[in-house]
């Protein structure tokens, strides 16, 4: 558990603590966009972010995914996968967090009604409301401006990802502030590589981060996909709605009935300690839900 918590804090520091910007031209247009790099170097992170945000907001919806894996010299490892599917026009979103044996999912609809689904092993629990909520708009920006001050990016040709041609920019930051140096050893000697994959119209579709020391290795990937075609509605929504609709009907008192009805349920609680960002909020209240094996 210690390494899992360290992993989360390292991800936040490694991907957010780098700050700064420089100066360049904007994305290419027309026929030249298929061959010419969209940005000249040195990169202006603020300009890259702005173009990406405009593309996402014009499209109206997106899927954001971040996967992080860490391995330690002790032989231990940890991983975390977060997926956010958002419709900016309606405000609906779904959040999925896979960490260890637990699969936590939240859906909040356009009207604000929310449900949570938590699966641990072969047991699944549902709850009304969002045990963890996010500000989907906070994930619209790729955060390139937080990288360009400490990292001088160079152009490295093109690659293919998710059916798109991406222009690759690579940097090797010489310093990386790490909050918990006990897990990474000597952070000042870390081997750091950052790769950005940007489409010709300025969408930062793929980002890779690699951090390695003699004590640990961290690899993280962030992607933006299904831009303009994302439907955040999860497949389990109708099941959650029906479950609580049934509970409401079975617990409503009958005026002609005097017998006492006892309902047995399994309590599902979350004891997980998380590192919160401005875009993600974890509630402190415990929610009780019926669980199914």
Give how far Cα 187 sits from Cα of 17, 184, 190, 209, 213, Å: 14, 6, 5, 15, 7
Percent of the chain, pLDDT > 90?
61
Domain CATH for 59: 2.50.20
In a domain, 221, yes or no: yes
Q: How far is CA 117 from the centre of its chain?
A: 17
Q: Is the pLDDT of residue 201 over 90?
A: yes
When pLDDT is cut at 50, 70 and 90, the band that residue 133 belongs to is confident
Give how far Cα 268 sits from Cα of 82, 84, 283, Å: 21, 23, 14
In a domain, 261, yes or no: no
Q: What is the pLDDT of residue 181?
A: 52
Quote the domain boundaries for residue 104: 2-233+275-287
Q: How much is the mean pLDDT over the chain?
A: 79
What are the tens digits of pLDDT across the range 154-187?
999 999 999 999 999 999 987 655 545 556 666 6
Q: How far is CA 178 from the centre of its chain?
A: 20
What are the tens digits of pLDDT across the range 10-43?
444 444 433 333 323 345 444 444 568 999 999 9
In a domain, 260, yes or no: no
Average pLDDT over residues 187-193: 79
In a domain, 241, yes or no: no
Dist CA 102 CA 96 (whole Å): 10
In a domain, 238, yes or no: no
In a domain, 257, yes or no: no
- Say how many domains are in the chain: 1
In a domain, 119, yes or no: yes
In a domain, 123, yes or no: yes
């Amino acid at each position: 558990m210690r390494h899992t918590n360290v992993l989360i804090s390292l991800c936040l520091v490694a991907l957010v603590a780098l700050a700064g910007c420089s100066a360049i031209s904007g994305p290419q247009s027309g026929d030249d966009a298929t061959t010419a790099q969209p940005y000249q170097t040195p990169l202006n992170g603020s300009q890259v972010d702005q173009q990406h945000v405009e593309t996402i907001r014009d499209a109206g919806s997106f899927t954001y995914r971040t996967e992080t894996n860490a391995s330690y010299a002790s032989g231990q490892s940890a991983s975390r996968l977060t997926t956010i599917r958002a419709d900016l026009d309606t405000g609906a979103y779904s959040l999925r967090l896979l960490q260890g044996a637990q699969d936590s999912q939240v859906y909040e609809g356009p009207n604000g009604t929310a449900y949570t689904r938590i699966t641990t092993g072969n047991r699944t629990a549902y709850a009304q409301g969002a045990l963890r909520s996010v500000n989907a708009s906070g994930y619209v920006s790729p955060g390139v401006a937080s990288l360009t001050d400490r990292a001088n990016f160079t152009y490295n040709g093109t690659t293919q990802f998710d059916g798109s041609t991406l222009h690759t920019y690579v940097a090797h930051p010489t310093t990386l502030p790490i909050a918990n140096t006990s897990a990474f050893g000597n952070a000042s000697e870390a081997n750091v590589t950052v790769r950005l994959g940007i489409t010709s119209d300025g969408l930062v579709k793929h980002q890779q981060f690699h951090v390695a020391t003699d004590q640990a290795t961290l690899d993280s990937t962030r992607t933006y996909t299904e831009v303009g075609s994302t439907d955040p509605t999860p497949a389990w929504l109708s099941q959650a709605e029906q479950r609580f609709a049934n509970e409401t009907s079975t617990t409503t008192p009958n005026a002609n009935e005097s017998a006492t009805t006892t309902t047995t349920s399994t309590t599902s609680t979350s004891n997980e300690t998380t590192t919160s960002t401005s875009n993600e909020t974890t509630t402190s209240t415990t929610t009780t839900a019926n669980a199914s094996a």
